[in-house]
A = this chain, B = another copy of it.
């Protein structure tokens, strides 16, 4: 049976790696960075993750994905309406970008672009995380009155547009793209849910 402290160590490793992946990406994040950020010695890294950096990164991406899904789920429950939840989701990222001088964007996207095509473990973690987001939001669109097929397409557009806007925000060092996309998506979803059958 695993010792109690070791789960903390593992969680600290995953947490540090997830933060570093978010801000610096995969290739620029060294094991030494994870060690100094988490305080965990090198031996423990390879004890908990015999698969090395790739395996630690995959676990961290999966954890980030679960965190996003939980946060989005919370917003959807609290906001009461999927359109309001989408707007608050955007506002959360606008805040993160502003607070961090545009360092903290999507925790998944950078690693997905860097490594998903090369490392299966990482691709699976990224793919599953995005899939969960799209499905979760689509479900709530259905509850709000959309037809399932339309909800799936619309949810994919929403997630894609937000992800892309996060790229543009970093590229332009401005939160304006995400704010504009948020407003555009609001109109788009209003017309989707407001006129289910013309």
Contact across chains for B109 and A167 when beta carbons are under 8 A apart: yes
Known A-B contacts A24-B114, A114-B25, A114-B110; A165 and B170 likewise in contact (beta carbons under 8 Å) = no
Judged by DSSP, the binding face of A is helix
Chain A 100-131, CB-CB to B under 8 Å as 1, else 0, gives 01110100111011101110000100110111
Instruction: Quickly give the copy total for this chain.
Output: 2
Of A102, A114, A127, A188, chain B has the most CB atoms within 10 Å of the CB of A114
Interface pick from A6-14, A79-87, A179-187: A179-187
Contact across chains for A173 and B127 when beta carbons are under 8 A apart: yes
Q: Which 5 A-B pairs have the closest CB atoms?
A: A164-B164, A163-B164, A160-B164, A27-B27, A27-B28
Contact across chains for A130 and B180 when beta carbons are under 8 A apart: no
Of A103, A161, A162, chain B has the most CB atoms within 10 Å of the CB of A161
Q: Is A159 an interface residue (CB 8 A)?
A: yes
Give CA–CA (A113, B113) in the complex, Å: 9
Contact across chains for A171 and B103 when beta carbons are under 8 A apart: no
Q: Is A44 an interface residue (CB 8 A)?
A: no
Q: Is A58 an interface residue (CB 8 A)?
A: no
Known A-B contacts A112-B167, A163-B163, A171-B112; A103 and B117 likewise in contact (beta carbons under 8 Å) = yes
In addition to A101-B117, A160-B164, A160-B167, 18 A-B residue pairs with Cβ atoms within 8 Å of each other are A25-B113, A27-B27, A102-B116, A113-B167, A116-B170, A117-B173, A123-B171, A127-B173, A130-B168, A153-B183, A156-B180, A157-B184, A160-B161, A160-B177, A161-B161, A163-B168, A164-B166, A164-B167
